[in-house]
Structure 1
Amino acid sequence: MEFATLPDRRAAQDPYGPALADSTTSLANTEMLDGVRAVARRLDGLGIGAGDVVALKLNNRIDFVVLLFAAWRLGATVTPVNPSLTAGEVARQVEDSGARLLILEDDDATVSTSEVPVLLVGEIYQAEGADPAPCSDPAALALLIYTSGTTGVPKGVMLDHANLDAMTAMGSEALELGHNDRCLLILPLFHVNGIVVSILTPLLVGASVVIADRFNPNTFFETIERERPTFFSAVATIYSMLAALPEEVQPDTSSVRFAVCGAAPASAELLTRFQRRFGFPLVEGYGLSEGTCASTINPVSGIRKAGTVGRPFPGQELRILDGEGNEVAPGEDGEVVVRGPNVMRGYLGRPADTAAVIVDGWLRTGDIGHVDADGYLTLVGRSKEMIIRGGENIYPKEIEDVLASDPSVLEAAVIGVPDETWGEIVVAFVQARPGQTVDPKALEARCAANLSGYKRPKRIHVVEALPKNAVGKLDKRSLRDIQVAGVAGTRS
């Protein structure tokens, strides 16, 4: 159980070395340990102990990280809550998780709607008494991460300390991290990527972390130049926005060794264009919350194949299965399944859902892809997003990549729409790059040159912005609602 005592080990090894920083505070290792001990005493005084769940509805800040370590020190579980959720949504997560305490920002109005005890973040360090002994059970539940809910009601993904220990060990090896690294956190801490890739993994190897303010493409590289990180992790949307900055933006990125791209696939064209412009590679990976964040990654050193999401992390296995559960040959599409010590314990209180996705130890991802002869995985779509037109299977990502290759397009999303003749037809939504105008006729010509006839969009909608969920993934459910309601300015 690495993380219950990680602050102690860091303080012993490098007392005055940097640990955490945000826009208002900077902590050395001994200061982080002092904070963790104080907050652990505070939680202990409120009756929080082994097996209890603490809900954190906080913005990205140092106190979030301190609370993580303090809760784990007591053997308690943390469930991060998206700060943008409504009061009703917060109440559902708190109730479903069985949280015994909800910790909020000092000015959070959720105080008046919660049915569990509430502690404001400004009060977490007010504690007296002896330090509780750190918990040492690797089977203790560490995180309850709630899925984004784009395919149904959010479910609590149960990740124990053994999951975190395994994933962070895999991540530090695959990303070649060491104590001289410095990570810039820009993804939300209510998501497993932010916690595992940008906090736990660098802290585990003795590196430091800077927690950035809310992402703004116009000021992001100022942060890079000021904080001098060696790596960061983000989603494809963020890289698209940065790549669309005016050409006169030429920042000093010499400190950055690489950046991780995850959560949703990026086009090969975006990866290549970004590296050519800013001088450091985007290392694309793939994973699910159910797999403690990541299952494949392109290497930091070695052959990176743009358009793929890399090879399995050390210690994980990956297979591609057909509809009957048989493994298919390289190059053939099928469902991606993974196995390893990073696979979740299950969904909280949902044994049937758990049994449906974990079969004989293999996590059924619901994603469709294929591996090449070298074992690199290419994703082609979600099984639930597959479009069936006249009996032909169509995966949206192939079409989205073609549309996104147009210089005027920032992002593209493709869905299937019911049709009396064909069963389903392909409908596309595109968002223009800043300062650009999308020409639907040019997109139609691009599709005609690159896609078989049955794959070409029947309609192309140009929209101001594509809807996203809280972790930056395209919200295709909202696109279907938009399609039903009708969109002005579309072209068939």
Structure 2
Amino acid sequence: MPHAAPHQAGRPGGRPANRPTIEVYPVNLSRLPAARRANDPDAPAIGDDARGFLTNAAFDDLVEVCSRHFAARGITAGDIVGVKLPNRVELVAALFAAWRLGAALTPVNPTLTPSETHYQLKDCGAKLVVLDEAETDALPDALSVVTLEELARPAPTVELQRQPDDPQAGLDDLALVIYTSGSTGRPKGVELLHRNIDAMTASMIEGLGLTEADHSLLILPLFHVNGIIVSVLSPLRAGGQATIAGRFSPKTFFTVLEAARPTYFSAVPAIYAMLANLPADAQPDTSSLRFAICGAAPMPPQLIGTVEERFGVQLIEGYGLSEATCASACNPVDGLRKPGTVGIALPGQNIAIMDEDGQLVTDGSIGEVVISGPTVMRGYLGRPDETAKTLQHGWLHTGDIGRLDDDGYLILVDRAKDMIIRGGENVYPKEIETVLHDHFAVLEAAVVGRPDPVLGEVPIAFISLRNGIDLTAEKICDFLTTRLARYKIPADIIILPEVPKNPVGKIDKPTLRRGLAPSRPEG
């Protein structure tokens, strides 16, 4: 076991002493809807465009109806329920309904193809799936199906096997199976326990200072832990409320925000880039916001400054991954913020840097980012070998390359798998992307490696430009040559109307790589 001092929450720049203590609601969140109802049945809980806002009592009733429909189809403790729905209240109700019965939930991206949907549901052994409408020919055999239309009918009369009243009970039971994007192969199911969910929501509430006065606006997909944890479970556990917005559009987003009056929302860099690119006459009322969060991918410091200055909102950048339940680091809301970093370890979590020999480094050197603490997953469902590779030396190995500064703020250098070795020189795409964002015309930038018969790999840059600006690749290259060493200059710069994204909103580098043909030697 390596020995060195990792960064822990509470170091310089950390959370203030007046953050709330997390004892508002039960630690096992399967009991949350009922506990909120008992505390204040008429207080607002959650809403969407279709249903409007539900009170605590109304939401608990909806969860009970879903539970009875699930139980009538044979769902009991230890089972897995799938849900393939767009963002809406019923998806959250299905989550709590499964938990109420002692079952776990796996959310399915509603844009997946039939074969991809079949793979996920079969891989996790789901016994039931909730769908917008029936699509039985795409599903595994013997899988029960319930549609939204059926959930809207009166609840069946059925005896429920409820969980014990003890809020500590069931913490080691499986709660969520979240599937990774599959960028390194077939998607893997990340096993998250109720103990992980308890620790993660407590960490978010304390780290962000959430209280019953907070109101989140959900715009990220609910098949991902960011949407589930940051925008729904954390505010609900803190006693606050959540509004589920419809499909994100930069043209309508601020209209939705002004109507909902949330205190925060969480988004990805691509969304902030689209908002920053709105016409100059877009001057929304953002006065309800305490802060906005950026996650899922590193955000260029230049874009952070643009968003903060233009919209008058404090933008907090964080970092995390599904294997650690959601977020592990965040710039403090009420402390020192350092643009260009993803902040300090969130309460209860540890972040360190590890070298190739499995030793922790404490001199500010670059290495692999590793995480420990109660938010770390149990493992990958049915994949003990891959679990053993990821959980080593008592740490979760993220595959990200970074370093910690003197105050414990994490600076991400790149993904280990994204690093380009050009003629023996290490090239980090994120460094090139950051410099590209220094150009006033660049809206988005992504750099990937292309195979090269001589150099091994060369960097290729894909960029999109701000509205109304016309610029050549040659001009961009001239800009880079004064700011980067020659070996870091992209071999090609490709200008696109929009850089492609995956369903979570991250720039889709695997797709960009697949579209590149290997270089041909000259001559």
Shorter-chain TM-score: what band? over 0.9
Matched, 1:274 2:311: no
Q: Does 1:71 align with 2:104?
A: no
Measure how far apart 1:59 and its partner are.
Answer: 0.6
Among 124, 128, 137, which residue is 1:112 paired with? 137
Letter in 2 for 1:3: L
Report the Cα distance in structure 2 between the residues aligned to 1:120 and 1:382, rounded to whole angstroms: 40
| Partner amino acid, structure 2, of 1:43 | F
Is 1:340 the equivalent of 2:373?
yes
Given that 2:117 and 2:138 are in contact with CA atoms closer than 8 Å, whether structure 1 keeps it comes out as no
Equivalent pairs counted in the alignment come to 484
- Counterpart contact for 2:291–2:314, Cα < 8 Å: yes
Is the CA contact 2:173–2:194 (under 8 Å) kept in the aligned structure 1?
A: yes
What CA RMSD, in Å, does the superposition of the two structures yield over aligned residues?
1.3
> 3-state DSSP class of the match of 1:199?
helix
The code of the aligned residue for 1:204 comes to R
Aligned equivalents of 2:184, 2:464: Cα separation in 1: 23
Aligned residue in 2 for 1:21:
47
Identify the match of residue 125 of structure 2 among 61, 84, 98. Answer: 98
Name the SS of the counterpart of 2:282 in structure 1. Answer: coil
Residues in 2 aligned to 1:56 and 1:257: alpha-carbon distance in whole angstroms: 32
Per the alignment, residue 489 of structure 1 pairs with none
Q: Does 1:178 align with 2:182?
A: no
Which of 75, 80, 86 pairs up with 1:48? 75
Greater displacement, 444-453 / 161-170? 444-453
Mapping of residues 366-377 of structure 1, within 5 Å = 366-377=399-410
* Equivalent-residue separation in structure 2 for 1:434 and 1:3 (angstroms): 45
Deviations, residues 66-88 of structure 1 (Å, cap 9, x unaligned): 11111001110100000000101
Q: Distance in 2 between matches of 1:353 and 1:359?
A: 11
Matched AA of 1:192? V
Contact 2:102 2:162 in 1 (8 A): no
How many Å separate the matches in 1 of 2:277 and 2:518?
30
Distance (Å, rounded) in 2 between the aligned partners of 1:208 and 1:124: 23
Corresponding position of 1:298: 331
2:61 is the alignment partner of 1:34: yes
In 1, the alpha carbon distance for the partners of 2:151 and 2:161 equals 16
Quote the residue 2:294 is aligned against. Answer: 261
Structure 2, unpaired ranges of 5+: 1-26
Q: CA deviation at 1:485?
A: 8.6
Q: Which of 60, 75, 82 is residue 87 of structure 2 equivalent to?
A: 60
CA contact (8 A) 2:264 2:290 kept: yes
Say if 2:145 is the partner of 1:133.
Answer: no
Give the alignment partner of residue 223 of structure 2, picking from 190, 204, 208: 190
Describe the SS at the equivalent of 1:190.
coil
Work out the percentage of aligned pairs sharing the same amino acid: 51
1:2 aligns to what?
Answer: 28
Structure 2 residue corresponding to 1:328, chosen from 330, 342, 361: 361
The one-letter code sitting in structure 1 at the alignment partner of 2:137 is: S
TM-superposed CA distance for 1:309, in Å, is 0.3
8 A contact 2:369–2:398 mirrored in 1: yes
Offset at residue 437 of structure 1 (A): 2.2
Paired residue type of 1:111: T
More off after superposition, 477-486 vs 403-412: 477-486
- Gap regions ≥5 residues in structure 1: 487-492
Q: Aligned to 1:150, what secondary structure does the other structure show?
A: coil
Deviations, residues 12-39 of structure 1 (Å, cap 9, x unaligned):
1111000011002120001111111121
Distance between the aligned counterparts of 1:412 and 1:330, measured in 2? 31
Give how far 1:482 is off. 1.6
**Structure-1-length-normalised TM-score:** 0.96
Q: Which has the higher contact order (CA 8 A, sep 6+)?
A: 2
**Match of residue 490 from structure 1:** none
What is the rounded CA distance, in whole Å, between the counterparts of 1:361 and 1:66 in structure 2? Answer: 35
Question: Structure 1 residues 470 and 181, CA, compared in 2 at 3 Å: closer, same or farther?
Answer: same
SS in 1 for 2:476: helix
In the aligned structure 2, how far is the partner of 1:27 from the partner of 1:134?
24
Is the CA contact 1:409–1:438 (under 8 Å) kept in the aligned structure 2? no
CA distance in 2, matches of 1:355, 1:19: 40
Q: State the secondary structure of the residue aligned to 1:446.
A: helix
Partner SS, residue 190 of structure 2: strand
Is 2:28–2:170's contact at 8 Å kept on the other side of the alignment? no
Corresponding residue number in structure 1 for 2:445: 412
Q: Under a length normalisation based on structure 2, what TM-score does the superposition of the two structures give?
A: 0.91
2:184 is matched with: 151
**1:386/1:394 contact within 8 Å kept:** yes
3-state secondary structure, aligned to 1:5 = helix
AA matched with 1:220: F
Counterpart Cα distance in 1 of 2:31 and 2:452: 58
Tell whether the 8 Å contact from 1:330 to 1:370 is kept in structure 2 after alignment: no
Verify the 8 A CA contact 2:270 2:507 in the aligned structure 1.
Answer: no
Q: How many angstroms does 1:131 deviate by?
A: 4.8
Question: Is contact 1:402–1:446 with CA below 8 Å preserved after alignment?
Answer: no
How do 1:192-211 and structure 2 match up within 5 A? 192-211=225-244
Task: Name the aligned partner's letter for residue 55 of structure 1.
Answer: G
1:47 & 1:83 partners in 2: Cα distance? 24
Once the two structures are TM-superposed, the CA of residue 46 in structure 1 deviates from its matched residue by 1.2
Q: Distance in 2 between matches of 1:140 and 1:221?
A: 40
SS at match of 2:359: coil
**Contact in 2 for aligned 1:150/1:475 (Cα 8 Å):** no
The reply to whether residue 433 of structure 1 matches residue 466 of structure 2 is: yes
CA separation of 1:485 and 1:435: change in aligned 2, threshold 3 A:
farther
Q: Please give the alpha-carbon distance, in whole angstroms, between the structure 2 residues aligned to 1:71 and 1:361.
A: 31
Question: 2-side partners of 1:298 and 1:172: how far apart?
Answer: 14
CA contact (8 A) 2:330 2:346 kept: yes
1:231 aligns with 2:264: yes
Q: Which whole-Å deviations, capped at 9, do the CAs of 1:144-188 have from their partners, x for residues lacking one?
A: 000011121100000000000000000000011000111000000
When residues 228 and 330 of structure 1 are mapped into structure 2, their CA distance, relative to the original with a 3 A threshold, is: farther
**CA deviations over 1:48-103 (Å, ceiling 9, x no partner):** 01110100000100001111111001110100000000101100111001000011
Partner amino acid, structure 2, of 1:86:
T
Q: Could you tell me whether the CA contact under 8 Å between 2:451 and 2:518 is conserved in 1?
A: no
